[in-house]
Amino acid sequence: MFSLCVRDHVMIAHSFRGEVFGPAQRLHGATYVVDVEFRRAELDVNGLVVDIGRASDALKAVVGDYAYRNLDEMPEFEGKNTTTEALAKVIFDKMKAKIDSGVVGPGSDGLASMKVSLHESHVAWAAYDAEL
């Protein structure tokens, strides 16, 4: 399996509901390093997994929607805990929509799977990984 990964970052604010979160129930900030790994069994006709420039632009657009925002105030997250795991799935779904619409390039129709990882620090991260 071939893979290609693009990276960006995003700074957000949010809070959590539930005693399990302790002090994180209060409003706090987070800076995530966001990796999106694209995978396919065979390279496309150009010898690519996916166009790295288009993939980078797509990721920048997706995370840009959340940059410097309080996720608690965004309608799409109303009533939801915006855990790192949950955000990884949201970004996965938005990147999949970019792939499906052709934004990532003509060779993206051969992608087999994708993994989105959100790194909270150098020692902790969460991911969502699925077939496309």
pLDDT tens digits along 60-117: 999 999 999 999 999 999 999 999 999 999 999 999 999 999 999 988 989 999 999 9
- For the chain, the domains span 2-131
Measure Cα distances from 11 to 51, 71, 129 in Å. 26, 11, 22
Distance between the two ends of the chain, CA-based, in angstroms? 14
- Would you tell me how many other CB atoms lie within 10 Å of the CB of residue 89? 15
Kindly report the CATH number that applies to the domain delimited by 2-131.
Answer: 3.30.479.10
pLDDT score for 107: 84
The answer, yes or no, to whether residue 1 has pLDDT greater than 90, is: yes
Band of the pLDDT at 51, cuts 50, 70, 90? very high
pLDDT score for 33: 98
101-132 tens-digit pLDDT = 999 998 898 999 999 999 999 999 999 999 99
Tokens, residue 63:
């995370």
pLDDT score for 52: 97
